[in-house]
Structure formats: structure tokens, C-alpha cells
Amino acid sequence: MLRFRPHHFLCTLGFEGKGYSPEFIRNFSRLAEELRSTPAGEEIQIEVTTISDSICQPCPDRRGEGCQSEIKIQTLDLAHARILGLSPGERLSWGEAKRRIAERMTPGAFENACAPCSWKELGVCRQALERLRGGKK
Ligand code: SF4
């Protein structure tokens, strides 16, 4: 069973091969590829967690079940969980996660929720969100 911290649903949507180490990138690439395979990826179940998850495992910034930047990560998680209606322990398919992102993550919500993230300026997450939402405001 895949496990994602709340902000990692949108990170996965926008992932384009950048990350904190070669091993982190390899792991995230494999996960993202699996989820993006259609139609099988849509059915993959993901459990919401508040500790280090399937993406975090090989990260050099991971500290046990937490993160070197835990306060910032919790801020991102709280905002994404509130917008997407995610609760710890909840299980949902990747298809359902994408539906919630498309319906609830408006461009304004994205700007606020992802404001603390240093990857935001790359622009790939916003572009992926715009593609998913098909130009909706
Ligand atoms: S801006 Fe950062 S937190 Fe937001 S989706 Fe992209 S990588 Fe994830």
C-alpha cells in the first residue's frame, strides 16, 4: 500500500524528475510512472499519513518518521489536507485524488497552500494543475 503525506498528492501530479538525491529521484520516478500508467494507475490505493511516506523513504532529509524541515512540511500538509478534504488513515485511489485536486485546488488555493515550498518557482506543479483542471479558474 502506498502512503502519502497530504501535500505529496499534488507533488506527484507535478513531478518531473527533480529531487533531493539520485535515489530519491529514482524512487519518486518509479512511483509516479506507476500512478500515471492508464488505466491501472487510476485504481492504485493510497493511504493518507502524517509521517514519512512512500516518497520520503530514500530522502536524505528524512529523520526517522519525520523530516529535517518538519515544521514547513506540516504547514504544507495542513493546507493541502484542508483543501482536498484528506484525513489521516483515509484510503483513496489515485483517480479519486486527481478528481479532488481538479475540483478543489484552484489556482488561488495552490498559491497559498504551496507558498512555503522551494520547488514552487520551477512552475511544473502549477502547469500540471492547469492541465488537470483544463483551464478552469
Ligand atoms: S509547489 Fe512544492 S509542495 Fe506544492 S505541489 Fe509542487 S513540489 Fe509539492
| Ligand 1 centre distance from Cα of residue 15 (Å) | 9
> Which residue's C-alpha comes closest to atom 8 of ligand 1?
11
* 97 CA distance to ligand 1 middle (Å): 15
- Domain holding 113, by residue range, is 2-133
pLDDT digits (tens, 9 = 90+) for 42-91: 999 999 999 999 999 999 999 999 999 999 999 999 999 999 999 999 99
Measured by CA distance, the residue closest to atom 4 of ligand 1 is 114
Cα of 71 from ligand 1 centre, angstroms = 15
> What region, left, alpha or beta, does residue 89 occupy, with left being phi > 0 and alpha being psi -120 to 50 degrees?
left
DSSP state, 1?
-
pLDDT (0 to 100) of residue 136:
77
pTM for the complete prediction?
Answer: 0.96
Quick one: what percent of the chain has pLDDT higher than 90?
97
CA of 110 to the centre of ligand 1 (A): 9
Ligand 1 pocket, Cβ-based, cut-off 6 angstroms:
7, 10-11, 14, 76, 114, 117, 119-120, 125
Please tell me the predicted confidence (pLDDT) of residue 109: 98
Q: Looking at the CA of residue 113, tell me the nearest atom of ligand 1.
A: 4
Whether the CB-CB separation of 80 and 9 falls below 8 Å is answered with: yes
Number of domains into which the chain is organized: 1
| Residues in a beta bridge with 15 | none
The predicted structure's pLDDT at residue 98: 98
Q: Whose CA is nearest to atom 7 of ligand 1?
A: 11
20 touches 11 (CB < 8 A): no
Buried b (16+ CB within 10 A) or exposed e, 47-79: ebbbebbbbbebbeebeeebbeeeeebbbbbeb
